């Protein structure tokens, strides 16, 4: 009965320690939101996540059509001729984009925001035919065609991009369309378009574009090829298309995409009015489905401080359970008496470690923050347990065991790909050790043996 009561008390204390652990995780999420706000503030003052699309060729026209005229009551009064405006949208036959993303940091308060400057060239070939006039109708009046480029945040354009059409320089204007609408730039063609005539163009855009953390490209051409290089060693490839070739190392990455219009709905989405600039930020959060087909890349820190602290806090209850289990073993097998308050204080010290780690990691490197936080908690618990367990040797032994646990946890945190298998292996090893140590224990006898009264502490 005494054994069961003690087990229930320990279980209740373990559940109680979950409350500060949950609150600490709330604090971690709040600090992550602070960093997201810092990214948003940098984006509002410099440039946000960028999306760049292949160019489109737009040919406006005006045609006369016969329409039914009605009075105020909706009754037909006859047919009249009126002018109606429209535009044809043509996509490139091929598009090739090459560029180098030069990373740099912007700091706001405690937070570093990853930025990049993309120096690139985007070339496209158009081979289209202007529709002929409809039979029996007056001829259409074809306006000045333009080439439009969608850019999510035009504030990121450094200097003035240079557009060449068939080798001749073309002035660029604000907006992706001739009316200034849409985020981007456009250039008016000097040559007129004729009904039924072919229109073959070679366009080349040289540009430098800055952005925050993420770049996305919309493959609007029939054949799209994108090649990107960067010195950033931790790229995250997202969007709906992964690179067909990539090389990632400590000195950076090289990635190549090849996307056909047969594998993408980008042209249909564009015609239906879905624009990529409103979805660029979703790429930053790692969402591949942004409402429009894009290929993308993000400059990420695979295990940043907040991610590491959040992952560490998930093991908090495991630390508490293992420590309480060790206490329980000493209490039952060594005849010690450990008060529930002493259980609770040690559990709180283990929980405070994660809060201390979070606070320190915002000011110093995570490795040093982890060393300082774990050293402080291990030292505190070691000194406290030397008195609780009536032996410095036992206290130091517990501290050494906690040191091994913290070292194992650090190995899990710095491992990006093997964290799960290492964590599962660690828990299995601990459980196996406990089972092997206690395999010959007669718990019925332990439960019936009265707990010895510990000797008083020696005078200091």
Q: Do 57 and 172 fall into the same domain?
A: yes
Q: Which of 299, 326, 348 is the last residue of a domain?
A: 299
Residue 192's φ and ψ, nearest 5 degrees, are -80, 155
CA angle 339/342/346 to nearest 5° reads 150
Q: Does any domain span residue 276?
A: yes
Pick the last residue of a domain from 244, 274, 299: 299
Contact residues for 41 (Cβ-Cβ < 8 A; gap 6+) = 108
Confidence of residue 440 (pLDDT cuts 50, 70, 90): confident
pTM for the model stands at 0.68
Highest mean predicted confidence (pLDDT) among 260-264, 391-395, 440-444: 260-264
Q: Mean pLDDT across the stretch 439-449?
A: 65
Query: What pLDDT sits at residue 288?
Result: 42
- Do 434 and 311 share a domain, yes or no? yes
What's the CA angle centered on 377, arms 376 and 379, to 5 degrees? Answer: 65
- pLDDT number for residue 109: 66
Length of the chain, please? 460
Contact 178, 146 (CB under 8 A): yes
Any domain includes 456: no
Residues 264 and 342 in one domain: no
Structural domain includes residue 79:
yes
For 264, what's the count of Cα atoms within 13 Å in the CB-facing half-sphere? 25
Report the domain count for the chain: 2
Pairing of strands 50-53, 214-218: parallel
The answer as to whether 55 is a domain residue is: yes
Computed over every residue of the chain, the mean pLDDT equals: 80
Among 49-63, 390-404, 435-449, the minimum mean pLDDT is found in 435-449
CB-based burial label for 234 (10 Å; 0-12, 13-18, 19+): middle
Residue-range definition of the domain harbouring residue 373: 2-37+305-448
Share of the chain above pLDDT 90, in %: 22
pLDDT, residue 289, reads 46
Of 224, 186, 218, whose CA–CA distance to 58 is shortest? 186
Do residues 293 and 321 both lie within one domain?
no
In a domain, 43, yes or no: no
Map 206-249 to HEC letters: EEEEEEECEEEEECCCCEEEEEEEECCCCEEEEECCCCCEEEEE
Q: Provide the pLDDT confidence category of residue 280 given band limits of 50, 70 and 90.
A: very low
Per DSSP, 155 falls in state: G
Which residues, other chains included, contact 417 with Cβ-Cβ below 8 Å and sequence gap of 6+? none
Do 115 and 191 lie in a common domain?
A: yes
Is residue 254, in this structure, part of any structural domain at all? Answer: yes
| Domain-embedded: residue 13 | yes
Last residue in a domain, options 299, 321, 337: 299
**Do residues 344 and 388 both lie within one domain?**
yes
Tokens standing for 227?
């090649």
Task: Looking at the structure, tell me whether residues 191 and 217 fall in a common domain.
Answer: yes
Query: Do 337 and 395 fall within a single domain?
Result: yes
Query: What is each CA distance from 238 to 216, 242, 297, 300, 325, in whole angstroms?
Result: 9, 7, 6, 12, 44
- At 344, the pLDDT band (50, 70, 90 cuts) reads confident
Asked if residue 44 is part of any domain, the answer here is no
């Amino acid at each position: 009965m005494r054994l069961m009561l003690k087990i229930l008390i320990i279980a209740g204390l373990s559940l109680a320690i979950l409350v500060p652990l949950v609150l600490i995780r709330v604090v971690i999420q709040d600090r992550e939101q602070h960093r997201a706000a810092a990214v948003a503030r940098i984006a509002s003052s410099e440039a946000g996540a960028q999306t760049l699309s292949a160019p489109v060729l737009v040919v406006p026209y005006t045609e006369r059509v016969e329409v039914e005229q009605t009075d105020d009551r909706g009754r037909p009064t006859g047919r009249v001729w009126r002018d109606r405006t429209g535009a044809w949208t043509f996509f490139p036959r091929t598009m090739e984009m090459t560029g180098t993303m030069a990373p740099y940091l912007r700091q706001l308060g405690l937070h570093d925001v990853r930025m990049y400057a993309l120096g690139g060239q985007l070339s496209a070939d158009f081979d289209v035919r202007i529709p002929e006039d409809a039979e029996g109708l007056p001829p259409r009046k074809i306006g000045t065609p333009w080439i439009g480029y969608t850019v999510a945040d035009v504030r990121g354009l450094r200097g003035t991009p240079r557009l060449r059409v068939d080798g001749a320089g073309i002035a660029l204007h604000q907006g992706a369309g001739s009316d200034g609408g849409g985020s981007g730039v456009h250039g008016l063609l000097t040559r007129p378009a004729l009904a039924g005539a072919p229109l073959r163009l070679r366009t080349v855009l040289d540009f430098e574009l800055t952005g925050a953390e993420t770049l996305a490209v919309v493959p609007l051409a029939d054949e799209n090829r994108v090649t990107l290089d960067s010195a950033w060693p931790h790229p995250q490839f997202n969007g709906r298309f992964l690179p067909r070739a990539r090389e990632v190392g400590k000195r950076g990455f090289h990635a190549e995409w090849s996307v056909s219009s047969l594998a993408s709905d980008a042209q249909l989405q564009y015609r239906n009015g879905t624009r990529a600039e409103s979805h660029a930020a979703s790429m930053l959060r790692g969402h591949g489905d942004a409402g429009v087909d894009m290929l993308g890349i993000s400059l990420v820190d695979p295990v940043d401080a907040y991610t590491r602290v959040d992952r560490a806090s998930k093991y908090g209850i495991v630390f508490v359970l293992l420590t309480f289990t060790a206490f329980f073993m000493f209490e039952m097998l060594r005849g010690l008496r450990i008060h529930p308050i002493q259980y609770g204080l040690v559990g709180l010290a283990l929980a405070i470690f994660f809060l201390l780690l979070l606070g320190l990691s915002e000011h110093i490197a995570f490795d040093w923050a982890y060393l300082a936080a774990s050293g402080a908690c291990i030292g505190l618990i070691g000194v406290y347990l030397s008195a609780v367990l009536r032996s410095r040797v036992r206290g130091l032994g517990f501290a050494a065991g906690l040191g091994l646990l913290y070292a194992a946890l650090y190995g899990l945190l710095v491992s990006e790909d093997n964290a799960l298998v290492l964590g599962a292996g660690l828990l299995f090893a601990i459980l196996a050790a406990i089972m092997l140590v206690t395999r010959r224990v007669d718990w019925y006898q332990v439960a019936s043996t009265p707990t010895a009264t510990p000797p008083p502490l020696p005078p200091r």
